[in-house]
Structure formats: C-alpha cells, structure tokens
Structure 1
C-alpha cells in the first residue's frame, strides 16, 4: 500500500511531494515525484508523558494546588482513583486512548498508578485498539516487572534506589518526575541515572550542565505546568542541552491532544515549529526505544495523514508551521498504526 501527498520526510521533516510505500507495517520507500494529492503525511505522535488513569476525573479539582490535586497518597486524583470501580477506570482510559488513536498518537509513555493491577487494567483498556502504550508501573517493583519500566513520582517522595536497581537489572525504562515545583529534587533524581526526566520546570545552571553531560532526555508538559501554576519549562535551554520530548500529562487537567500541546509549546516558547514537531514524534519514540517517529525506509509505518485542503489548512504557506501551530483533530484524514 502507499499514501501520497506532501511528505515530511526524514529526521528534519523535509517537505517533499510523493508517496510513502508500506509493506507489512514497515516503510519500504519514500518516492519523490509529482502527485495529485494535497494531503500532508507525517509521523504519528509519541506522547512522552501521560497519566491516563485520570480519565475518570476530567476537570475535577478546580482551584486546588498541584499537591492537593496529584500528590500521593491523598491528592484528589488518588482519592478518585480509589473510589472508582475497575470497570469505570478501564472504560474511562479506553475512551481517552480512542481519542488519542483518532488524533494520530501511535504510543504514549504512561506513569501508571495502581501497582500490578493498574498495569493490567491499562492493557485491558487498549485491547483491540492500535495504540501501543509504554507502561511504566508505579509504587512497586512488581508493577515495573509487569510493565515496561518504572515511573517514579519524585526524589523528594522516596529514595527509589531499590526500584532503580531492579529496573536496571530488568533492562527496562526508568523515568522520574523532577523539578516540577522547585529545583530541590533534580539532583537526587539525576543521581539515580534515570533514562529520562519529566517536567524540569525549575532547573538551575548546575542541573542543565548535569543533564547535558549525562545526555538524559527530558519530557516536558507545558500545558499541565501552566494549569497547575508551577510555571513553564525552559524549553529553549533544554533543547540546547539534550533530547526534549512532549507530553500531555494528566488527563484530569488536559486532553491528551498532541495538536494542542504542539500549538501551545510553539506559541509560548522559543522552540521552532520543526523542533516542536520533533519533540512530538521522533524524540518521544527515541526515549521509548520505538522504531517510529520518522518517515524513512526501515521505520515502522506509524503515520498521520492530514487533509491539506481542509478549510483550516488550505492555503498554508509553510507546511511544518501549519501542522504544528494550526492543525487539529478535524484536519485528520487518516491514521495508519
């Protein structure tokens, strides 16, 4: 099979007219030639940080502080998660993942609450869907073993040395929240040699130096950070130092829309549209060890096709800028996962 249009090809998203040839779920060729389609073909998104369990509590907790909203064990989200039945939680997560699939997300890195049972519940929620989550269990080593790694709440909450060592022995991902409220937990988080950090809103120069020297990627969630009042991450400074990926964070606070996250990041920071698109695709895939996020031969054919002739996109003079700053769910023509 093949898809045609303006293809955002390769790691730099070079716009070329032509077709992407797909065989058995793999991109086998990107052929540059004149075609009649006005579609735009780009890599499907990889959402680098989510809390999908929060789908049972959308827009709850207006006016509460970050700690009151999400701090374990008694933040609002944790109380609501305990009160919900398993069936309610699974169905709510499934609805969110269906939205993600429809809007072009191929995978997401989930910090999954609820221990082993929480990991199993998310696997049940995605059954029959084409989105393939990377599930980082929380709270116990057993949850890590049941999932694809461990997602730590933050170095001020616990030591996490035992969990880090167990995750390393298992050869799985270890991610940790750091620098969300202040800088106090960034150095202890870096001491754990994580595979990636989440948030990093308040780094000091020493932290940026350590992140660069250790080549530790960062998943940023600017919409969530603004909603919770902790500020915006210094995306430009982080991009100059390391790999930066884009996440939507808690479904409680924000829709899991990578279109909205890209637009927000592009318009409120100094990141270029090309850098933001890379944050939403290739960089998240790189953190997760996935073979997608780039349209080139040998990659998994996880593709998003936008209608370049939609009322919203027609007439765009810069296709990458239009995809990042203007495109949305109504412009999606097809999703190949």
Structure 2
C-alpha cells in the first residue's frame, strides 16, 4: 500500500512531497518524489489520557466542581457508572471509540474504572475496532494484572505503593494524576517513580527541580482543566524539561477529538505548532512504548490522511500550523490503522 501527498516526516514533521510505502502494517519506506496528490499524510494521533467509560454521561454535571464531578467514590461520574448496565456502558464506549478512529486517533491510553470488570468491559467495546489501546486498570492490583498497567487516581486518594511495586514487577505502565487541584500531591506522586503524570497544573520550584533531574513524562489535558476550573498547566516550562503529551481526559466533559485538543493547546500555551503536533502523536507513543506516532521506516503504519484541498485547508501557507490549528474531522479522507 502507498500513500502519496505532502508527508509530514519524522519527529520534526518536515513537509516533503512524496509517498509512504506500507508493508505488512509497517512503514517500509518514506520516499521524496513529485506527486499530483493534494493529500496531507501525518501520523495517526495518540490520545495519551482518556476516561472512555464516561461516554455514558456526556455533558452531565454542568456547573459542578471537579470533586463533585469525578472524585471517587461518590463523584457524579462514579455514581452514573455504577447505575449503568454493562450493555449501556459497552454501547456508549464503542461509539466513542468509533468516533476516535474516524477523527484520526490510532491509539489511546485509558484509565479504566471498575476493576477487572471495567477492563473486560472496554475490551468488549474494542472488539472489531482497529484503534490501539493501552488500558490501565484502577482500584486493584488484579485490575492491573488484567490490563496493560495501573492508572492511579492521585496521591491524595491513597498511597499506591503496593500497586506501584506490583506494576513494576509485572513490567507494566504506571500513571498517576498529580497537580490537578493544587500542588500538594505532586511530590508524593513523583516519589512513586511513575512512568508518567497527568495534568500537572499546579507546580512549585521544587517540582521543576525534580523534573529537571527525573524527566518524568507528563500528559496535559487543557480543555478538561479549563472546564473544571483548575487552571492552565505550565506547558512551556514542562516541555523544556521532559516529554509532554496530550490527552482529552473525560468524555463526559469533552469530545475525544485530538483535533480540538490540538487547536485549543496551540492557542492556550506558549508552544509552537510542531510541539503541539508532537504532543498529539509521538510523545504519547513514547510514553506508552508504542511503535507509532511518527512517519519513519520501521514504525507502525498508523497514519492519517487529510484533504489538503478541502475548503478548510486549501491555500494554507504553513501546513503544520494548519493541521494543528485548523484541521478537523471533515478534512479526513482516510485513517490507516495497520496498512491494510
């Protein structure tokens, strides 16, 4: 299989006229050559933080505080999750996952509530879909063992030392929310030596010092943070210190569209369009140890094709900037998740 057009090649997304050659689901070659195609070919997105189970409660809880919305065990989302039937949860999640594929997401990292049953529920919703999942179980070590790792709610909710040890012994991924409401739980989260941190809105000088030394990756969720009123993460300072990825967070609060997340981040943060596109693709892949997120030989053939001559994108002078700040689902002509 070959895809032609303007290829956003490598980690710097260098626009070249050419083609991507896919062989058995892998990028076999990236060739610079003349082409008549107006398509734009880029890596499929990696949504680095989701709560897909919340698909059952879209736009619920307007006006509630963060704790009222999501704090375990009695925040609104947890009550709605308990009240929903398994069939309702599976159906709602499947539709969100289908939308994510259509909107160019090739992989996602999910914090999955509900223990082992919660992990099994989203696995059922994923059946027959091509999107790649990294599911982090919550609440119990058994959920971690049934999943791809453990996703901790935050150090204010528990110590998580035993869960961290068990996850490390299993060779799996450990992520934790930190610095969302305030800075009090950042040091305890860092003390767990996590594979990545989520949110990191409220930081102090000592936290920057630790990030300078430890370089723990961070996932930012700018739309979610604004909806819940917790503030704006210091994206520039974080990017200067470590790997930073992008996630859409709770489906109850925001659509799981990486187009919307990128455009919002580009206009909110003091970062370049290339940095935002890197946050939405290869940075998430690096955190999750995935082989996608970038167009290079040997990488997984998970690609997104946009119509560069759509009414929305035609005439763009800076293609990367247009992809990040302007492109949307209507510009998608193909999502290739495996090269077939």
Q: Tell me what 1:175 maps to.
A: 175
Could you state the TM-score of these two structures normalised by the residue count of structure 2? 0.99
Q: Tell me what 2:208 maps to.
A: 208
Task: Tell me which moved more, 308-317 or 202-211.
Answer: 202-211
Q: Tell me what 2:67 maps to.
A: 67
Q: In structure 2, what is the Cα distance between the partners aligned to 1:27 and 1:63?
A: 46
Aligned residues: 337
Q: In structure 2, what is the Cα distance between the partners aligned to 1:86 and 1:232?
A: 35
- SS of residue in 1 equivalent to 2:132: coil
Alignment of 1:124-273 (within 5 A): 124-273=124-273
Q: In structure 2, what is the Cα distance between the partners aligned to 1:294 and 1:55?
A: 29
Deviation, structure 1 residue 215: 1.4
Deviation, structure 1 residue 109: 0.4
Q: In structure 1, what is the Cα distance between the partners aligned to 2:72 and 2:212?
A: 30
CA displacement 1:202-241 (0-9 Å, x = unmatched): 0111111112211100000000000000001110110011
Q: Tell me what 2:281 maps to.
A: 281
Q: Tell me what 2:6 maps to.
A: 6
- SS of residue in 1 equivalent to 2:238: helix
Q: Tell me what 2:315 maps to.
A: 315
Unaligned segments of structure 1, at least 5 residues? none
Q: In structure 1, what is the Cα distance between the partners aligned to 2:212 and 2:274?
A: 21
Q: In structure 1, what is the Cα distance between the partners aligned to 2:294 and 2:84?
A: 39
CA RMSD of aligned residues (A): 0.4
Q: In structure 2, what is the Cα distance between the partners aligned to 1:211 and 1:236?
A: 13
Alignment of 1:296-315 (within 5 A): 296-315=296-315
Q: Tell me what 2:20 maps to.
A: 20
Q: In structure 2, what is the Cα distance between the partners aligned to 1:247 and 1:11?
A: 19
Q: Tell me what 1:98 maps to.
A: 98
Q: Tell me what 2:79 maps to.
A: 79
CA displacement 1:127-169 (0-9 Å, x = unmatched): 0000011000000000000000000000010000000000000
Deviation, structure 1 residue 23: 0.5
Alignment of 1:31 with 2:3, yes or no, is: no
Unaligned segments of structure 2, at least 5 residues? none
- SS of residue in 2 equivalent to 1:254: coil
CA displacement 1:53-107 (0-9 Å, x = unmatched): 0000000000000000000000000000000000000110000000000011011
Q: In structure 1, what is the Cα distance between the partners aligned to 2:151 and 2:129?
A: 23
Q: In structure 2, what is the Cα distance between the partners aligned to 1:179 and 1:134?
A: 23
Q: In structure 1, what is the Cα distance between the partners aligned to 2:47 and 2:31?
A: 28
Q: In structure 2, what is the Cα distance between the partners aligned to 1:326 and 1:309?
A: 13
Q: In structure 2, what is the Cα distance between the partners aligned to 1:7 and 1:209?
A: 38
Could you state the TM-score of these two structures normalised by the residue count of structure 1? 1.00
